[in-house]
Amino acid sequence: MASIHVDIVSAEGAIFSGEADFVVAPASQGDVGIAPRHAPLLTELRPGPVRVQREGGDEQLFYVTGGLLEIQPSAVTVLADAALRPDQLDVDAADEARKKAEEALAGATEKSDIEKAQRDLAEASARHRALKRLRGTD
């Protein structure tokens, strides 16, 4: 079976590099499934999980806070703002961040404050949902 090379990197460094049979990433307009020989694409990422399916059905999961996704027929590169493995995610911290973002949005009056609070809430909610999904508690 054909495979596609996957690199997941962030400012902190490389998170994953290897071959995959299929990748699912949270593109800005919806999740995108990527198989070998996929058409070239460059798109923004929204916060959420990246699933890397390897030979034999083994699946590795990562959480990204946003960034860019570059797809070439033989390679996928995730340039994440931040990327974490499931064991690096803290459910209590994710829940607390979501609650703080909700409070900030409720108290915001200026347009710029509202927009920032909405972005923070979207990221915190995505992190919370991803953590639950990654840990199998959803």
Q: What is the pLDDT of residues 39-89, one digit of tens each?
A: 999 999 998 889 999 988 889 999 898 999 999 999 999 999 988 887 766
pLDDT score for 72: 96
State the Cα angle at 12 between 16 and 99, rounded to 5°: 100
Of 12, 13, 42, 3, whose CA–CA distance to 25 is shortest? Answer: 42
pLDDT score for 77: 97
The predicted-structure confidence for 89-113, as pLDDT tens digits, reads as follows 666 777 787 788 788 878 878 888 7
pLDDT of 129 strictly over 80: no
pLDDT score for 76: 98
